[in-house]
A = this chain, B = another copy of it.
């Protein structure tokens, strides 16, 4: 079940998109699994079907799901790897963010302690 915040500045279709990606990544959804149909999710969440479809189209486009009219939408083979690869591309953001924090006067030690806390917790 997805959590949608209609008041968020982040578009609803992006929220749906990201949460399904996260469920694939965490194993809640596995390759081959069928995800809710456009209509099902629409009535569950109280969101217009077009908005759901926009999220599903983006998932299809990225090769995370594939859709068969009449059958539904399914998690594609290799979806997990594809998501991970796209997320690795975010390594560039890290340098940029670190530069900002350095300029703001945050010490390397403070950064390191954040890195430690993220990489040493069990999850």
Contact = CB atoms under 8 A, between A and B. Distances in A.
Contact of A104 (B84, B98, B108): B84
A103 interface: yes
Contacts of A84: 103-105
A45 interface: no
Number of copies: 4
Interface string A26-60: 00000000000000000000001000000000000
Given A25-B103, A111-B119, A93 B87 contact: no
Contacts of A114: 91, 94-95, 98
Given A94-B97, A95-B117, 19 more contacts: A6-B68, A6-B71, A7-B76, A25-B103, A84-B103, A84-B105, A85-B104, A87-B100, A87-B101, A88-B104, A90-B97, A90-B104, A91-B106, A97-B97, A98-B114, A98-B118, A99-B118, A102-B118, A108-B115
Interface of A: 6-7, 25, 48, 66, 68, 70-71, 76, 83-85, 87-88, 90-91, 93-95, 97-106, 108, 110-112, 114-115, 117-119
